Amino acid sequence: MSKARYGAEPSPVTRWIILGFVGAVFIVPILALVEFSLRLGQTGQHGLVHYAAIFDPANASTYSVLFQGIGNSLVICAITVLIVLLVLLPTMILVELKFPKYRRVLEFICIIPITIPSIVLVVGFVPVYSVVASIFGSNPWTLAFAVGVIVLPYAYRPIAANLAALDVVILSEASRSLGAGWFSLIVRVLLPNLRRGIFASCFITIAVVLGEYTIASFLSQNTFQTALLLLQHTDPYVAVIFALFALVFVFVLLILIGRLGTSRRNRRSA
């Protein structure tokens, strides 16, 4: 601990005072969500009535929008993950193996969606989707094309970090000198090594898709987030319950990503 006196690290007391204070402030809105979901109208009493109401068949019509929205969001999740796996991932591997000069270009393209706000892209998506709708019909799953673009920066980073940690050229030369073709190089050597990056990238994709609101609302599709906002007017309690569920679900998902990351680090240091 004496090291902390002249280094940059805070003393444990300082650390826990800061983290405790900030943590306490930041937990308040979450606790308010929990408290709100337990309220029994304006009576000032609390109970689990609203949680039970979700499973009450009498309310099925009220919540059908929400369940439909969740269903749509899950379909969009699946297609967006497929876009990441079948379009982004092969391109990244190909660039790494065959066109390393263009790595910066690919990175630049994948970062662009951070620079262009979704609300700006939406202005352009409206005309694009009038064409998309004439080809595929105005189906919710078509949103995946637009959401896939929003996801690019988030999906790119974990895979890129994983690729950078591997020596792809050495691995490919080694496997090819052992007689492997391109197919077994990718399937039996590269993909297993990239597993963690790919998983992390899929998880973060799921999180971003479930949280996406802007595009869905402007393209008038019913997804989880737009349904939450609609439901908030008719049954704010259940909207809040699902918001809580979603926050906790994504929190756990991200803890899992974190765990994947740490086991990788441990392995490297070992």
Partner 1 sequence: MTSAVTTAPATTTSGAGTTSRRRSVVWLGLVPFAIYVLLFLAVPAALAVGSGFFTSSGAFTLANLSAFANPQILAGFWSSLWLSALTAVIGAILGAIVCFALMGARRDGPLRSLVDSASSVLAQFGGVMLAFAFIATFGTQGLITQWLVSLGLSSNVFNDFENGGVLLYQIPGLVLPYLYFQVPLMVLTFLPAMEGLKPTWGEANATLGGTRFTYWTRIGMPILAPAFFGSLILLFANAFSSYATAAALISQGGIVPLAIKQQLTSETVVGVSNVAGVLALGMVIVMIVLMTAYSALQRRASRWQK
| 197 contacts partner 1 (rule: CB under 8 A) | no
| 164 contacts partner 1 (rule: CB under 8 A) | no
Give the interface segment with partner 1, choosing from 48-56, 70-78, 157-165, 247-255 (CB under 8 A): 247-255
- Of residues 43-82, those binding partner 1 (CB under 8 A): none
Give the interface segment with partner 1, choosing from 50-58, 62-70, 124-132, 187-195 (CB under 8 A): 124-132
Amino acid, res. 70? I
CA pair distance 254, 246, nearest whole angstrom: 12
Which position among 99, 133, 195, 234 is part of the footprint of partner 1 (CB under 8 A)? Answer: 99
| 33 contacts partner 1 (rule: CB under 8 A) | yes
Distances (CA, A) of 19 to 23, 26, 237: 6, 10, 31
Which position among 155, 207, 222, 238 is part of the footprint of partner 1 (CB under 8 A)? Answer: 207
Q: Which is nearer to partner 1, 52 or 247 (CB)?
A: 247
Q: Which is nearer to partner 1, 46 or 188 (CB)?
A: 46
| 119 contacts partner 1 (rule: CB under 8 A) | yes
Give the interface segment with partner 1, choosing from 52-60, 73-81, 133-141, 249-257 (CB under 8 A): 249-257
Which position among 140, 148, 158, 197 is part of the footprint of partner 1 (CB under 8 A)? Answer: 148
- Of residues 77-96, those binding partner 1 (CB under 8 A): 83, 86-88, 90-91, 94-95
Long-range contact set of residues 50-53: C-beta below 8 Å, sequence gap at least 24:
50/237, 50/238, 50/241, 51/241, 53/235, 53/237, 53/238
Q: Which is nearer to partner 1, 42 or 134 (CB)?
A: 42
CA pair distance 79, 97, nearest whole angstrom: 26
- Of residues 224-243, those binding partner 1 (CB under 8 A): 225, 228-229, 232, 239-240, 243
| 151 contacts partner 1 (rule: CB under 8 A) | no
| 155 contacts partner 1 (rule: CB under 8 A) | no
Cβ atoms of residues 72 and 140 within 8 Å: yes
What is the number of alpha carbons within 13 Å of residue 9 lying toward its C-beta? 9
